[in-house]
Amino acid sequence: MAELHYHNHFCPPNDVVFAVMFVDRDLFRRLISSVTGSEVDIKGKVYSQATLRENDPLLNSIRFDTFTETHNDQYYTADIQRSYEESRLKRRTIFYTCRAISTQDVNEMAYEDLKPVNVSFVLTTHEVPHAIQRV
Q: How do 75-81 and 62-69 pair as beta strands?
A: antiparallel
Distance from C-alpha of 30 to C-alpha of 40, rounded to nearest angstrom:
8
Domains and CATH numbers, the chain: 10-123 (3.40.1350)
pLDDT of the residue at 4: 67
pLDDT of the residue at 30: 92
pLDDT of the residue at 112: 93
Distance from C-alpha of 119 to C-alpha of 43, rounded to nearest angstrom:
17
pLDDT of the residue at 133: 61
Contacts of 14 (CB under 8 A, 6+ apart): 80, 82, 124
Contacts of 99 (CB under 8 A, 6+ apart): 52, 54, 60, 62
Which run of H or of E encompasses 11?
none
Give pTM, 2 decimals: 0.73
10-residue mean pLDDT series, the chain (135 residues): 70 74 90 88 86 63 84 89 80 87 89 91 72 59
